[in-house]
Structure 1
């Protein structure tokens, strides 16, 4: 008796992204949650520059809408210019009409990662793990204002003092200050690959 061979489904390939080659080439965004005193929920919107590993913003509140995401991005774009691309997941805040319009108005391409595939966005996932271990798990917030103050102190220390292996053991702020575009044909400096060694 013949048995029918099972057809193997092709695995979905990870989305192809162009290598980041300069600050502002691509930002990554993600939400996290924590709790404060009296069981009050706190949400954070984390924005990371994939090239420099700089944490551009951690917005903190009890709720963060798509419109709020646009305001954060607008503030950052006014300070440093808009990125070429932003990598996000498929949450409702990211698929909102407001964010789509903001991206179109600023010439930004939105890249949506596959649902349930955190490996599509390793930079922000690595950052989130450090943020959770070093800040959220180490502090008991009295409320939103207390959380904002403590988290902003941590963010500045992360950018200005924490050395990163992929940046030649420099903190992100120092790396950005020293960065200059490489000459044509010159080898890439640390942090220019989409998957550099050591997502530190």
Structure 2
């Protein structure tokens, strides 16, 4: 991973331990995924986890409004950006 990032000119920066607010966007995403998937189901296999995570990702990106995107879902936002 580090090698790929270096090849692409991406600099990895770690947050300070215990300072989750420094990475609020991903922490909010992690919370949403945990509440909607990980805490909501009892899994019987890794394939079950993968299937539910895939379904959740499709729903999250196509149906859920995001404040940062002016209330649009990521797919609607991307579509509008491509059209304009």
User: What TM-score does the superposition give when structure 1 sets the normalisation length?
Assistant: 0.39
Distance 1:171 1:113 in 2: 28
Q: Which has the higher strand share?
A: 1
1:130 corresponds, among 29, 32, 45, to 32
Q: Which has the larger radius of gyration?
A: 1
Correspondences of 1:45-194 after superposition (within 5 Å): 70=1, 99=2, 101-179=3-81
Q: Which has the higher helix share?
A: 2
**Which segments of structure 1 move beyond 2 Å, counting only runs of 4 or more?**
none
CA distances 1:144-193 after superposition (whole Å, capped 9, x unpaired): 0111001110011001111112212110111122226xxxxxxxxxxxxx
Note the residue ranges of structure 2 that are not aligned, 5 or more in a row: none
RCO higher in 1 or 2 (8 Å CA, sep ≥ 6)?
1
CA distances 1:86-144 after superposition (whole Å, capped 9, x unpaired): xxxxxxxxxxxxx2x22211111112111111011000011111111111111111110
User: What TM-score does the superposition give when structure 2 sets the normalisation length?
Assistant: 0.87
CA distances 1:2-52 after superposition (whole Å, capped 9, x unpaired): xxxxxxxxxxxxxxxxxxxxxxxxxxxxxxxxxxxxxxxxxxxxxxxxxxx
RMSD (CA atoms): 1.3
